[in-house]
Every structure is written in C-alpha cells, then in structure tokens.
Amino acid sequence: MNQRWRLIALWLLPFGVAVFLGWQVLGSGGPARFAESTGAGVPSARNTAVARMSYGRFLDYVEAGRVTAVDIYDGGRSAVIEAVDPDLDNRVQRLRVDLPGVAPELINNLKEKGISFDIHPPRNSPPALGLLGNLLFPLLLIGSLIFLARRSSGMPGGPGQAMQFGKTKARFAMEAETGVKFADVAGVEEAKEDLQEVVTFLKQPERFTSVGAKIPRGLLLVGPPGTGKTLLAKAIAGEAGVPFFSLSGSEFVEMFVGVGASRVRDLFKRAKENSPCLIFIDEIDAVGRQRGAGIGGGNDEREQTLNQLLTEMDGFEGNSGIIIIAATNRPDVLDSALMRPGRFDRQVSVDAPDIKGRLSILEVHSRNKKLAEDVSLEAIARRTPGFTGADLANLLNEAAILTARRRKEATSLAEIDDAVDRVIAGMEGKPLTDGRSKRLIAYHEVGHALVGTLVKNHDPVQKVTLIPRGQAQGLTWFAPDEEQMLVSRSQLQARIMGALGGRAAEAVVFGHAEVTTGAGGDIQMVAGLARQMVTRFGMSDLGPVSLEAGNQEVFLGRDLMTRSDVSESISRRIDEQVRLIVDRCYQDTLELVGNHRECMDRLVELLIEKESLNGDEFRSIVAEFSVIPEKERFSPLLPATTT
C-alpha cells in the first residue's frame, strides 16, 4: 500500500511542474505570449494558421497599400495584419509581425494610408493570481516530500529513514517463530545445556531467584565458522517465547560519529520496555574489538559505540531482565572490558563436532533426503573428521544435487564419495591425457600413499586418485582416527615423511634433476610442521622451550608488527634445527621409497589403469611386497596431499 502511494506521489510531481509553468505563462505573458508559445492566434484568428513577416517587409506592404487591417497586441511588441498578396491571386492573408513598440510615426502612417487598426491592451492578471502562481510549485514540492516521508517512515531504505537515523535496526518479534527448536540442533550438546538454562530462567525465574542465583547477563558463543552459533540463537528464540531482538554487529557502525551509540541506546530502551527479553548480536567482533588499536587515537565511531554498549550492559543503571547473546569466531580480538563478569559472564564454546556429533547432525539433515539402503550415516561420519555442521549440510546437499543430475531416485555411496571429494578438493576436472605427465603425477601420489602406509605412526590411506579436482592434478587422502586428541613426536615426523613421499618418489624414479614443482605445497606444510616442533612443542635439541613470539598485533597486520622474542643466534639455531629435522625425514623417506621400488611400479601401473584406488585396494597390493605395520590411532585431521 505504501509503495502504491509513493508511486502516485512521484507521478504527481511532473503534473505540478506543468501547472506551475502554466500559471507563470498566464500570469505574466498575456495572450500574445500564450499565442506565441502554443501557436494559437487571437480570438479573430483562432482557426487560422498565422505566418510571420519581418518588420521591414511590413512597412513595404504599408507603403504599397497591401495592408487592409492591423491589430496591435502586447503593448506594441507584436501585431497581426491582414494583407493582400499578389502572388496568391490577391487573396487576403493573415500575418504576424514583431514590432519595436507602438511608435507614433507608425500610427500616423496607418492613418494616412487609411488602414483600419486597433490597439488591444495587455491582459493583466490579478496580483493574487500571480502570487499564487509563484508559490504553487514550491508548496507542491514541499508537500510531496512531507507526504513521502510520512508514508515511508518505518520502511527499510525509505526516505523516512533519514528521520530515524539514530534508531536501532534490530529485528523485533514478541515471540520469534524461527521454526528451530533445540531438537533441531545436533552435535553441540554441551552448548545446548548452557543455553537451556537461559530458556528455563526466562520461563521459570523463581527456580533461580529462590536460591539467590542470578542468570548470566551475557552469553558469548565462540567457535569456528559453520559450527551452529546462529542456529543455536534461533533455537533459543524459538524455545523462550519472550520478546526477541536480533541484529548484526555491523548494523551499529555508521560513518557518522555518534550514530552507533545512539542506536545502542535506542536498542536497550526498547528492550527495557519489553523485558524480560533476549538480544542476539551476531558477529559482535565488528563492534567489540579492542579499543585503542586504530591509527591516530581511539575517538572513532566504533569505539564510541563500544563504550555505549559497555555502559548499557553493566553501567550505573543496569539492565535487569535483559539477556544478551552474542556470537563470534574471533574472541581473541574482543575488548577485555566486554569479556569481564557482569557483561559476558559466560563463554559457550561451539566447536567442531566429534564422530557422535557428526552422526547426529547427519541424522538431522538427512530427514528430507532419499538415501539408498547401502548408505551408512556412521560411515559418512567416520569419513568426515573436522567437518562442521554447515559442512555436513552442504555435503548432503551436494550429494542430492549429484543424484538429481544423474537421474537417480535415491542417493547412493557413489554420490556421497563424489560429494566429499568436491566439498574438500573442488570440482572434478578433465582426466589427464598426457602420458608422461600422468605417469609422473602417478608416481608422486603413490609416493605419498606408500610412505603413509609403510610408516607406523602415519594415518592410513583412504584414497589415491589421478582425477584432477580444483587446482590439484592428483590427490591422496588419509583417514585419521580422532579418538586421541594429542599428537606425539613420532606422529609429527611420520606426517613430514608422508608429505615428502611425493618428492622422494620423483627423485628415486626420475633423478634429482627431473624433480618438479608439484611438491611446493608439501614442502610448505613440512616447513610449518618442523618449525612448530622446534618453537612451540619443544621437540628439538634446543629443549622444551617455547621460542615463538607471543605479541602479535591483530589489527595493523600480524606480519608487520610481530616482534621476535629471541636473539639472532637463537634464530639461527632454530633454522638449523628445522633444517635438521627435515633433512633426516627426507633421507629416511628416500631410503624407504628406494627399498620398495618394485611395489611402487606395480601400484603406478594399476593407478594409471584405474585412475583411482581406495585404501583397501592399495593396502592389498602393498601387502604382497611388504609387511604393513599396525597403525596407531590418533586424532588430528591430515590435509589431503595434492599435486
């Protein structure tokens, strides 16, 4: 309805302009100007087209006696004459002449020639009508603007928003119908227990107040992206049944200083009017970052907004009955005053789910999916360590898309496997056709998988493929077990050897002069692991000492502002230890690959033929040539080794 009225008002503006111009013409121009602008004549010539004649020719016609009548208008500035034209068989023609003014000599000349003439006085408009004409357009314009402002007030993006620039942009619902309950949130059971206390307090506050307990004023949901922080907030809103405000941290901040603080004040004013209530602020790090970290002082819009937020959460007046829930994946950048008790009293960690959590998440997201009988959700959960809830939802959606594309009625294991590969590595590319490049990549990937299989403390191989995905021309997947959350020194060395297996295979088969750039990503990962062993984990000859810089600025650039806490001599020793670890692992990898050359050649031929080998097929071939050591189970997810 408001949109329709706005369109009507916009259509009325051109009409108002036309009316104003018409009044101006009628008020100051007289009938002669009106006749000039429209092409119409005076009343005696209203049905005749009037041609123009120059003043000099008009005088010639007067001297020649061809003019029979003259009507003078507009104070002597124009005239309409009747003249006989000998070129038109002496027919009488009406012509228009622009005069320099009513000159006495012209009147005397017309009298001497006996020409009938008449002087028409100008048609003057009443003064009130002229004033009305001058004021009509401004009044119409001002009235239209007021009309638009009144109609669009409260509409997002409308001109009326200029009147409410300092008002909060939070979405408000007396009882938020999000369609999400706690039963729809899986994989974060510990976080759900903390948040259910909030819902219980809002519904039955006497259970807490009777024993002198106070519910936390603020709850901060902390966790990686995609773990379900916003989904938990929706579940709280759906369960609580109280007024609910939701907004993003970026909606506080504007380019004008003071607007964000005004919006904070307005938000808490509305919240107090509807208490008890919930306020959910998503991505609070947009407004809650550490103060004093900017260039040129701290008197900027974001800091003014944060100061007002701190005051409203736990200031002089307080905000009893208001519970604030915020979410962020960057708790390290939040201001310490925001994190103290009395503001965000409790931090709720929403981490990536374990295998049980992934299984429950898959059960939730597979409710509306048609899965084949051979699809095991537990097998999918075991294959996807490190996946968040959003990743698992995307995985099942990609599998459903592949099922529809292949015109199947239900999603099978083939679609699940392809969806996992696509989510992690990217879209499948064209198969390799160059025989030499394909063989080199095959040796590289088999080198990774062979070392990972023969080293005791390495994760078992899950899949080896030559099918390109994303930027990788070949892929080797490992399937770690996550029962153990700590990583030993031997396990880190095994990872380094597995990553160097591709480069070692190239060197053994093609020679050191023919190694390629395919191991660039592997070498970067190896350098990072080795440096962490030396500087963070104390797994070198330097002893159990942390040598990593502790002060890192997160606003002006980590690399620019990082200060080293060690001397130059210690830095050289760190580099030497890193090089020593990598050299030892590489020599062991070269020896291992060289001792199993025959097995590697057999695996390469089979991989080139089939283009993909799963873990069981790969281990069965290796078992024909060597004894595979029993693997130790450990937790962290290894990235896929790519070429």
Residues involved in catalysis: 445
Q: How many CA atoms lie within 13 A of 337 on its CB side?
A: 17
Strand partners, 78: 73, 98
* Cβ-contact 594, 508 below 8 angstroms: yes
Tell me if residue 435 falls in helix, strand or coil. helix
CA distance 532 to 492: 10
CA distance 445 to 464: 7
Rounded to 5 degrees, what are φ and ψ at 524? -65, -45
Sign of the alpha-carbon torsion through 82, 85, 90, 93: negative
Structure tokens at 600: 């590697």
CA distance 627 to 633: 18
CA distance 465 to 109: 111
* Cβ-contact 169, 279 below 8 angstroms: no
Q: b/e string for 379-404 if b means 16 or more Cβ within 10 A? A: ebbebbbbbbbbbbbbbbebbbebbe
- DSSP class of residue 473? S
Alpha helical stretches, state H, 160-205: 189-203
First to last CA, the chain: 60
From 360, 358, 413, 429, select the one nearest 391 (Cα to Cα).
358
Structure tokens at 176: 């938020």
Tell me if residue 193 falls in helix, strand or coil. helix
CA distance 145 to 414: 62
Residues whose CB falls within 8 Å of the CB of residue 80, separated by 6 or more in sequence, listed in order: 41, 42, 44, 45, 50, 70, 71, 73, 94, 95, 96, 97
- Read off the amino acid at residue 571: S
Tell me if residue 464 falls in helix, strand or coil. strand
Q: How many CB atoms lie within 10 A of CB 405?
A: 9
- Read off the amino acid at residue 622: V
